Amino acid sequence: MEIVIVQDRAALADYAAQIIGKQIHTKPDSVLGLATGSTPVETYQRLVEAHKSKGLDFSKVRTFNLDEYLGLPRDHNQSYHFFMHDRLFNHVNIAPENVNLPDGMAMDPETACADYENKIADAGGIDLQLLGVGGNGHIAFNEPGSSLAGPTTIKVLTRQTVSDNARLFFDGNEEEVPKFAITMGVGSILAARKVLLIATGTEKAAIVRAFVEGPLTASVTASALQMHPNATIVLDEEAASKLENIEYYRWVQSQKSEYEKLKNRLAK
């Protein structure tokens, strides 16, 4: 895992948007895996700005979102379908047929899970997967105890996730937060060619330490990223504040340009 520590939320959004922008420049028909929640909001703002001011072109980009609440219609203002259109898709030139989210109103949810996996495979797999991390270490809605190899599936949300989501969304009303979600599995996430996890704030510091430096465990599903060959974890200072090896991660970043110089010298 590459650990990148930036000053604050704004710098994190700049950094994440740059990585995503670069991915789109390098491969215009990239398949992006996208996340909802509060962490990526500013990153999506930056992508919209890059589209408007620098012509970042989404016309060939295909997207797959991580998850969706089960039983919430697409046009519900708390659905992830609504969120993604509101924050990103309505403001860039993405083709509607290239946008994919799990179907929260699927008549047969289990078949919908298998269909979603097939659709990702048909698109050639995910090039770059953006992730946040939940307070309990979940990635997508893979709550503690989820398989670290599983595909898209139905999950029961933990009480903590329900209350976190009520606090941030649903006007604080826990009763209204759906208790089930259809979510890409940890296995689906690990299959992405690149993974970019972003986390901010002191409230994420303990779980960041647990998944970056703690044991690989289904109790903290983000720890599965330790097994991914190309995972970048971007943290603001607050989220990084409990990392034990923080000085080493900073040192690695400071040596990046030295490594490029060394490579150039060796190539001569």
One residue of 3, 4, 47, 139 binding ligand F6R per CB under 6 A: 139
* CA gap 94, 63 in Å, rounded: 9
Q: Which of 5, 24, 35, 112 binds ligand F6R (CB under 6 A)?
A: 35
132 near ligand F6R, judged by CB under 6 A: yes
**Residue 221 found at the interface with ligand F6R (CB under 6 A):** no
Q: Which stretch binds ligand F6R (CB under 6 A): 1-9, 119-127, 139-147, 170-178?
A: 139-147
Choose the stretch contacting ligand F6R; rule: CB under 6 A; options: 32-40, 56-64, 211-219, 235-243.
32-40
x/- string (CB under 6 A) for ligand F6R, residues 165-204?
---x------------------------------------
Q: Which is nearer to ligand F6R, 67 or 236 (CB)?
A: 67
- Catalytic residue check, 136: yes
Contacts of the segment 111-118: beta carbons below 8 A, 24+ positions apart: 112/182, 113/151, 113/152, 113/153, 113/154, 113/182, 114/151, 114/152, 116/64, 116/152, 116/182, 116/184, 117/151, 117/152, 117/188
CA distances from 115 to 62, 92, 96, 122, 187 (A): 16, 27, 18, 10, 16
User: With binding defined as CB under 6 A, does residue 67 bind ligand F6R?
Assistant: yes
Cβ closest to ligand F6R, residue 50 vs residue 182: 182
Phi, psi at 2, each rounded to 5°: -95, 125
Whether the Cβ atoms of residue 132 and residue 40 lie closer than 8 Å to each other: yes
Classify strands 153-156 and 2-6 as parallel, antiparallel or unpaired.
unpaired
**Cβ nearer to ligand F6R, comparing 62 with 138:** 138
The Cα–Cα gap between 44 and 40 comes to 6
For the chain, the straight-line distance linking the first and the last C-alpha, in angstroms and rounded, comes to 29
| Residue 143 falls in the annotated catalytic set | yes
150 belongs to the binding site for ligand F6R (CB under 6 A): no
d(CA 207, CA 213): 10
If one asks whether residue 220 binds ligand F6R (CB under 6 A), the answer comes out as no
- 91 a catalytic residue: no
Residues in the site for ligand F6R, rule: CB under 6 A?
Answer: 35-39, 66-67, 132-134, 138-141, 168
Catalytic residues: 67, 136, 138, 143
